[in-house]
């Protein structure tokens, strides 16, 4: 879904350029209108035809097309400004793609009896029994996604954990957390972070500089 908007921006430029194959004399506003209509169609299809979460990528694609159309309509009257518009759109699209690629989609998995993995549930019980366990462990949860369970150990009893960021850097997935003492009842504070995928090397660290190792506990 997050890639859909920059792809829509690029598609808008491509569609605008494609109109020159059909007519060299077409006014620039009509070219921009063609892109705008394509964006509206994609947006309406996402809302009416597809709907729900499945339709969101198409909606973002449509929004990207509409954004390109508006920029080209404003700046596309003269050749020089049209080139500026092309460059501006491509730079924004490239920046969006880079940001999307480096920031990994994640979510915090609730501490319930249904954590997407029986092994993860059993391990969470073990953390409560043995507060000396410190580090992270990786589980496969629903639909092949991954869950990273981090425990702070008894030295940080009473702390709570917050996820600051999850980023992909080359062959590494870097998970950064912060932990603060707020008199929680957990003797071994832990959190489970769901991610779509992980790189071959996983680094889990606290903002205070603490780096957590992968635990060998079964």
Angle, CA of 142, 164 and 192, to the nearest 5°: 30
Return the pLDDT at 103: 67
Cβ atoms of 65 and 15 within 8 Å: the answer is yes
Count the neighbouring beta carbons within 10 Å of the beta carbon of residue 155: 10
pLDDT digits (tens, 9 = 90+) for 50-79: 877 677 888 889 999 999 999 999 988 888
Return the pLDDT at 48: 87
pLDDT digits (tens, 9 = 90+) for 200-211: 899 999 999 999
Cβ atoms of 131 and 186 within 8 Å: the answer is no
Q: Whole-angstrom Cα distance, residue 53 to residue 59?
A: 10
The pTM for the full model equals 0.58
Q: Domain boundaries in the chain?
A: 4-102, 106-212
């Amino acid at each position: 879904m997050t890639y859909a908007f920059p792809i829509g921006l690029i598609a808008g430029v491509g569609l605008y350029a494609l109109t020159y194959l059909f007519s060299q004399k077409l006014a620039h506003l009509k070219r921009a209108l063609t892109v705008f209509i394509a964006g509206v169609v994609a947006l309406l299809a996402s809302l009416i035809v597809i709907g729900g979460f499945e339709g969101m990528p198409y909606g973002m694609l449509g929004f990207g097309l509409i954004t390109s159309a508006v920029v080209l309509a404003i700046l596309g009257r003269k050749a020089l400004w049209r080139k500026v518009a092309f460059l501006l759109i491509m730079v924004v699209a490239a920046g969006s793609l880079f940001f999307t690629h480096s920031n990994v989609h994640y979510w915090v998995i609730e501490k319930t009896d249904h954590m997407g993995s029986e092994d993860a549930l059993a391990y969470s019980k073990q953390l409560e029994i043995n507060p000396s366990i410190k580090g992270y462990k990786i589980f496969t949860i629903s639909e092949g996604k991954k869950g990273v369970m981090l425990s702070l150990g008894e030295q940080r009893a009473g702390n709570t954990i917050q996820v600051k960021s999850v980023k992909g850097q080359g062959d590494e997935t870097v998970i950064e957390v912060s932990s603060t003492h707020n008199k929680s009842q957990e003797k071994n504070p832990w959190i489970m972070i769901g991610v779509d995928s992980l790189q071959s090397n996983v680094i889990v660290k606290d903002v205070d500089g603490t780096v957590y190792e992968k635990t060998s506990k079964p």
